Structure 1
Amino acid sequence: MENYTNSLTLQIEGLRVTKTSKYPVFFAILFTYIFIMITNMGIVVLIWAEKTLHQPMYLLFCNLSVNDVIGNSLMLPRLLVDITLPPSERLIHYYECVAQAFTGHMFGTNAHTVLMIMAFDRYVAICNPLRYATIMTDKMVLKLTVSAWGSALVLVGILLGLTIRLTRCRSLISNPFCDNASLFKLSCESVVINNIYGLTYTVVLLSSSTGSVILTYSKITAACLISKSKSLNSKALKTCSTHLCLYLIMLISGLIPIILHRYPEYTESRKISAILFNVVPGSLNPVIYGLQSQEISKCLSNIFRRKKVKPAF
């Protein structure tokens, strides 16, 4: 029998790991987390330190790296701690759980909104190259950044606000970490409003990001076909292929756990896919962008060269 409870202590089911697999899984996640922190923070520091990289394209990309750092910092360390504990001792405070869910949804929503403003930047650079400097000013970059984070904050704030109003009658989070669905499933009240808003939120976010990417890339393709300029086509291919690759990685890794939510028999697969949604984009984004960008590659090579050269006295 389920009774209403005001207990602020919740239990997280977490990953089901055996004694033999516990440490391999722990170190795999730990090394991945370290890699995410080093690469993403390194990209941010490099872009801010090198004046040659003070361009809208790189400044906007910093948002993605900052988002990956924040999102993974509040998810993976907690997951690492839970792996070392038996299931009965995986406890979390309700407000910490809400904060974790808020951060997780902000991470996913920001990934979409940031890639949307990056698509706009690529559209202006390729379709209006002569006006690029006048359109993509520092003020415009700031406005786009605020709009990306602000819209995500409002959407996620409403999502979690509808959930925390509910009374709880359960205390088990059947996930490796907290999210909105896990939180409102703790309630025995009607969650129709939560489901309606959650569905609307998902549809609006996905249709907006997918629609903006399709629209901008259609116009970029049309501009390349009309101009028939080899230099323009080369520029479009290099910059747009990187952006499109980042978007597809984020989209696919996000859709898999949503699909698996519909199949209760794949609970463990859903848990792993939810972790991969944080880990895969955070690991690949700086690598793909860093390898594809000639400017970033040049700056990195210059830094390593300076370190190798020792001053002679």
Structure 2
Amino acid sequence: MSLSQNISIVHPEYFFITGLTGTRYSTYYYIFLFIIYFISIIGNSIVLLVIALHRSLHSPMYIGVFNLALADIGESNALIPNMMKTFFSDSQYISYNDCLANMFFVNFFITVQTYTLVVLAFDRFVAICLPLRYNAIVNNKFMAILFSVIWVFNTFLVTLSTSLMTRLSFCKSNVVESSYCDYGRLVRMPCNDSSINNVIAIIITAFFLVAPPFIIALSYLGIFIALCKITTWEGRFKALKTCISHLLVVGSFFIPILCNMIAAPSVNARIINGSLSVALPPMLNPIIYVLNTAKIKDLIRKVLNNRSAPIRGNVSK
């Protein structure tokens, strides 16, 4: 019998999240995170309200944008408040159960984000490559079913990965070198066999960090080929313009993750890059979609004008 089989399961009462403990200028970084959080919640809430309240935006693409904003709010709430609590309370301890809950919600909303970006890429692919069949292929019912499948599948996979953490024994250390309960860090810490957890980690990485950008790249390859068939530059630009918001959102999501994987020489740099790669996209997504979507900008402008009109009327009297 192996040594790992003789070790009893040890679940620490607390984990110690090192975060940016002892890092120079960490106070300014936490202030920056608070600003990111504030903008993320306000921006995504505005996007949700505008899409929900205006029937003109009840279309397949905006169902995708609505789902992305919902996931952004969930991810921001799962990540940043815990980090701010650590800073303000000057305590890096988190209970074992709270750590698993934190891991679940952060991973869940990140995975929802990735496949929402895939669905939005598919939407643009059909709209540009198969415009005459768009309404037959992509409709509100199709998008509702697709996102329901994504949420159920992600719930299953993230629940499986989180529940398997309970079989790991943390008898050596309870110090997590991260800004939150990072699955990748925790799975390297146990003193018993974690091979099953490593396999699940590989599966999750393949499903949510490798497959999505590959599928998105294939979608845009098809879009590029379709654009080359359009005879006029004006027509090409008009078609490409509908993809700009999505391309910017994809870049804001995957580029920080890629940078964190290949360009984080120190522990502090990796922790900062890791937290930013998770925290920044929810802030940037609503800004990108509002600034690049004429419909949303016009509706927000109308709402603001309607609310200010009575005030101007009273002043004139």
Same fold (TM over 0.5): yes
Q: Partner residue of 1:192? A: 195
Q: Partner residue of 2:18? A: 13
Q: Partner residue of 1:242? A: 245
Task: Determine which of 206, 217, 221 is the counterpart of 2:220.
Answer: 217
Provide the C-alpha distance between the structure 2 equivalents of 1:159 and 1:11, rounded to a whole number of angstroms. 21
Using the TM superposition, give the Cα deviation of residue 143 of structure 1 relative to its aligned residue in structure 2, in angstroms. Answer: 1.3
| Aligned pairs (5 A) from 1:34-183 | 34-86=38-90, 89-169=91-171, 170-183=173-186
Provide the C-alpha distance between the structure 1 equivalents of 2:209 and 2:183, rounded to a whole number of angstroms. 17
Structure 1 residues 253 and 107, CA, compared in 2 at 3 Å: closer, same or farther?
farther
Any stretches of 5+ residues in structure 2 without a counterpart?
1-6
Q: What SS does the aligned partner of 1:255 have?
A: helix
Using the TM superposition, give the Cα deviation of residue 22 of structure 1 relative to its aligned residue in structure 2, in angstroms. Answer: 5.0
Provide the C-alpha distance between the structure 1 equivalents of 2:231 and 2:154, rounded to a whole number of angstroms. 38
Please say which of residues 5-14 and 224-233 is displaced more in the overlay.
Answer: 224-233
Provide the C-alpha distance between the structure 2 equivalents of 1:92 and 1:294, rounded to a whole number of angstroms. 44
Q: Say if 1:12 and 1:175, in contact at 8 Å, map to a contact too.
A: yes
Structure 1 residues 141 and 6, CA, compared in 2 at 3 Å: closer, same or farther?
closer
Provide the C-alpha distance between the structure 1 equivalents of 2:239 and 2:162, rounded to a whole number of angstroms. 39
Q: Partner residue of 1:274? A: 274
Using the TM superposition, give the Cα deviation of residue 4 of structure 1 relative to its aligned residue in structure 2, in angstroms. Answer: 6.2
Using the TM superposition, give the Cα deviation of residue 39 of structure 1 relative to its aligned residue in structure 2, in angstroms. Answer: 0.2
Structure 1 residues 203 and 303, CA, compared in 2 at 3 Å: closer, same or farther?
same
Q: TM-score, normalised on structure 1?
A: 0.89
Q: TM-score, normalised on structure 2?
A: 0.88
Aligned residue type for 1:279:
A
Can you list the C-alpha shifts for 1:8-56, whole angstroms capped at 9, x where unaligned?
22222121246x8354333222222111100011101111111111111
Any stretches of 5+ residues in structure 1 without a counterpart?
none
Aligned residue type for 1:26:
Y
Structure 1 residues 22 and 226, CA, compared in 2 at 3 Å: closer, same or farther?
closer
Identity %: 27
Provide the C-alpha distance between the structure 1 equivalents of 2:11 and 2:217, rounded to a whole number of angstroms. 47
Using the TM superposition, give the Cα deviation of residue 300 of structure 1 relative to its aligned residue in structure 2, in angstroms. Answer: 1.3
Task: Determine which of 235, 250, 254 is the counterpart of 1:251.
Answer: 254
Structure 1 residues 175 and 226, CA, compared in 2 at 3 Å: closer, same or farther?
same
Structure 1 residues 81 and 204, CA, compared in 2 at 3 Å: closer, same or farther?
closer
The root-mean-square deviation of aligned C-alpha atoms, in Å, is 2.3
Provide the C-alpha distance between the structure 1 equivalents of 2:27 and 2:272, rounded to a whole number of angstroms. 16
Provide the C-alpha distance between the structure 1 equivalents of 2:35 and 2:22, rounded to a whole number of angstroms. 18
Equivalent pairs counted in the alignment come to 306
Using the TM superposition, give the Cα deviation of residue 232 of structure 1 relative to its aligned residue in structure 2, in angstroms. Answer: 4.3
Q: Say if 1:119 and 1:243, in contact at 8 Å, map to a contact too.
A: yes
Using the TM superposition, give the Cα deviation of residue 111 of structure 1 relative to its aligned residue in structure 2, in angstroms. Answer: 1.9
Q: Say if 2:20 and 2:26, in contact at 8 Å, map to a contact too.
A: no
Aligned residue type for 1:215:
L
Using the TM superposition, give the Cα deviation of residue 115 of structure 1 relative to its aligned residue in structure 2, in angstroms. Answer: 0.4
Using the TM superposition, give the Cα deviation of residue 3 of structure 1 relative to its aligned residue in structure 2, in angstroms. Answer: 9.3
